[in-house]
Amino acid sequence: MQNNLLSGLKEHENKLLTIWSQLLIDGGSDDGAVEEEESKEFASLFLKAAAAAEGKIQDSQEFEKVEDLIVGIASSRGKRGFSPRENAQYLITFKEAASKILSELIKDPEQLFDANLQLNAALDNMTILTFEAFMRGREDIISRQVDEISEISTPVITVWEGVVALPIIGTLDSSRTQIVMENLLQQIVDTGSSIAILDISGVPAVDSLVAQHLIKTVSATRLMGAECIISGIRPEIAQTVVHLGIDLTGIITKASLASALKTAFDMLQLSVVKRKIV
């Protein structure tokens, strides 16, 4: 039966905290890195779990609370701009402090080794958790930004009565094309426009997939009963399209938004004339 080697730490909580914060400061973390409240809470929870555990600390119920706490600490530190390295350092110095105290408490080398092993296993696991929490925090931010970008990046502009334009900026992928298509079609219905201009001058490159998406958008617009003009085709895009062997002949393409608008006016039988000064 393995007796609880780490329970002895509980009585030396204050000493542990002192050594820990000293180590953190020595380790080059600025003073702000040692969050007194956080650290105290963590240390006391961890020591409580260690004292309550029978056998492995990781299996105890108390330990789950410690894990939750460290995940919370790691993600809040991540938001405040701490690097994952600093987070890991935070736990590693705690381990160092705990080992120091253990070596004072336990004299038998074999027992000391066991105790250290237990401590290592528990804290290493938590270090991994801090990394995971940090990554998750970052991924949340990224996915939120992706959502925001796709929301703001598909504005449909009414340029004239019966003519809507949609400038596309940035790379087109499947999910974005879907949003572009839905927005454009919805806007056509809402405004009753019979001509839609798709301006791709802000699209850096066109591959066969993007071209396929464009063709789909044009077909869908036609099915709705509106005509779609693609404008802003840059020379390099024209070259790629031809090299890829994509057939855009059924689609009205114009070099610039201005010429697309002119074509739209022609289709609506409108003409722009310069006023004569009498």
Among 48, 100, 222, 234, binds other proteins (CB under 8 A): 222
Q: Mind spelling out the 3-state secondary structure of the chain?
A: CCCCCCHHHHHHHHHHHHHHHHHHHHCCCCHHHCCHHHHHHHHHHHHHHHHHCCCCHHHCHHHHHHHHHHHHHHHHHHHCCCCHHHHHHHHHHHHHHHHHHHHHHCCCHHHHHHHHHHHHHHHHHHHHHHHHHHHHHHHHHHHHHHHHHHHHCCCCEEEECCEEEEEEECCCCHHHHHHHHHHHHHHHHHHCCCEEEEEEEECCCCCHHHHHHHHHHHHHHHHHCCEEEEECCCHHHHHHHHHCCCCCCCCEEECCHHHHHHHHHHHCCCCCCCCCCC
Among 52, 92, 105, 220, binds other proteins (CB under 8 A): 220
Q: Minimum distance between the CB of residue 222 and other proteins, rounded to whole angstroms?
A: 6
The answer to the question of residue 225 lying near other proteins (CB under 8 A) is yes
The answer to the question of residue 208 lying near other proteins (CB under 8 A) is no
Q: Minimum distance between the CB of residue 223 and other proteins, rounded to whole angstroms?
A: 4
Query: Which of the ranges 78-86, 116-124, 165-173, 219-227 carries the binding residues for other proteins, by CB under 8 A?
Result: 219-227
Q: Which is nearer to other proteins, 18 or 174 (CB)?
A: 174
Size of the site for other proteins (CB under 8 A): 19
The answer to the question of residue 223 lying near other proteins (CB under 8 A) is yes
The answer to the question of residue 266 lying near other proteins (CB under 8 A) is no
The answer to the question of residue 91 lying near other proteins (CB under 8 A) is no
Among 224, 238, 267, 268, binds other proteins (CB under 8 A): 224
Residue type, 111: Q
Q: Minimum distance between the CB of residue 245 and other proteins, rounded to whole angstroms?
A: 19
Of residues 173-202, those binding other proteins (CB under 8 A): 178, 181-182, 185-186, 188-189, 192-194
Of residues 125-164, those binding other proteins (CB under 8 A): none
Q: Which is nearer to other proteins, 48 or 222 (CB)?
A: 222
Are the C-beta atoms of residues 164 and 185 closer than 8 Å to each other? no
Q: Minimum distance between the CB of residue 202 and other proteins, rounded to whole angstroms?
A: 23
Tell me the backbone φ, ψ of residue 114, rounded to 5 degrees: -60, -45
The answer to the question of residue 226 lying near other proteins (CB under 8 A) is yes
List contacts with other proteins (CB under 8 A).
178, 181-182, 185-186, 188-189, 192-194, 216, 219-226
